[in-house]
């Protein structure tokens, strides 16, 4: 199970349409999504106009895509209020800068425009090892090679500790898929404050991941949302 499958299954079975993706890279996920209201935000997308045209032939709904070549912070300040004035985000993939404070802002800003039954998916919430969980500086120093999940996981811990109005857990698949919905939390709130969380290490996460992330096996996805397994399309 990966993010594309989770998004497509939720969109099809929950009838969710308006899609936002923060951090699209080459559009591997973005171009496959079927929706006439798709928004891509990335300061450095990795595709040409020819790829856009090719992907529109393959999936005609790409004709309606809206692209914002800027950081997610700039997008939320400059564009989101007018874009979402009359229609809310129904499903979002947050996969931009993989640092605690960036991921947290992306989630909180998306929540401001999310419909009541909307769903946010956050990629990279469950790093397997210390190398995958390293800082942006370490990732840069190793020439951006290998897997980098960063410390997005701290944004998940932060929200589980601080928010009473959202339910947050992580599916144990595809580097950890955070799932966020509006509504009462269905978990015990960890008692941490912001500075505590910022200072946690990968080793702290590794000793507490089930509890801190609300880590669930991938198949919990079907039970939680009352879905049936669907063939990938």
Q: Does residue 80 interact with ligand SAM by CB under 6 A? A: no
Nearest to 83 by CA among 69, 97, 66: 66
What torsion do the CA atoms of 147, 151, 156, 158 make, to the nearest 10 degrees? 180
We find the least distance from the C-beta atom of residue 202 to ligand SAM, in angstroms, to be 19
Q: What character string, x for contact with ligand SAM (CB under 6 A) and - otherwise, covers 35-74?
A: ------xxxx-x------------------------xx--
Nearest to 221 by CA among 9, 4, 49, 70: 9
Which of 3, 209 has the CB closer to ligand SAM? 3
Contact residue for ligand SAM among 97, 152, 155, 179 (CB under 6 A) = 97
Choose the binding region for ligand SAM from 12-20, 96-104, 160-168, 184-192 (rule: CB under 6 A): 96-104
Q: Over 117-180, what HEC string results?
A: EEEEEECCCCCCCCCCCCCHHHHHHCCCCCCCCCCHHHHHHHHHHHCCCEEEEEEECCCCEEEE
Q: Does residue 151 interact with ligand SAM by CB under 6 A? A: no
Q: Does residue 28 interact with ligand SAM by CB under 6 A? A: yes
Size of the site for ligand SAM (CB under 6 A): 20
């Amino acid at each position: 199970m990966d993010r594309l499958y989770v998004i497509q299954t939720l969109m099809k079975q929950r009838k969710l349409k308006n899609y936002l993706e923060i951090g699209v890279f080459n559009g591997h996920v973005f171009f496959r999504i079927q929706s006439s209201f798709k928004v891509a935000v990335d300061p450095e997308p990795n595709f040409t106009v020819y790829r856009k045209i090719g992907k529109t032939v393959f999936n005609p709904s790409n004709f309606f895509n809206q692209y914002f070549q800027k950081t997610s912070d700039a997008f939320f300040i400059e564009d989101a209020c007018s874009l979402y004035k009359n229609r809310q985000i129904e499903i979002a993939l947050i996969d931009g800068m993989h640092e605690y404070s960036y991921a947290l802002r992306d989630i909180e800003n998306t929540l401001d425009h999310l419909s009541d039954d909307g769903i946010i998916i956050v990629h990279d919430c469950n790093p397997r090892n210390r190398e995958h969980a390293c800082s942006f500086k370490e990732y840069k120093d190793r020439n951006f090679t290998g897997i980098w999940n960063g410390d997005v996981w701290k944004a998940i811990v932060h929200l589980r500790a601080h928010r009473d109005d959202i339910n947050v857990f992580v599916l144990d698949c595809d580097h950890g898929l955070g799932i966020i919905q509006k509504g009462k939390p269905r978990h015990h709130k960890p008692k941490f404050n912001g500075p505590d969380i910022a200072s946690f290490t990968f080793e702290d996460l590794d000793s507490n991941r089930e509890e801190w992330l609300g880590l669930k096996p991938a198949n919990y996805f079907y039970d939680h949302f009352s879905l049936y397994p669907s063939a990938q399309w």
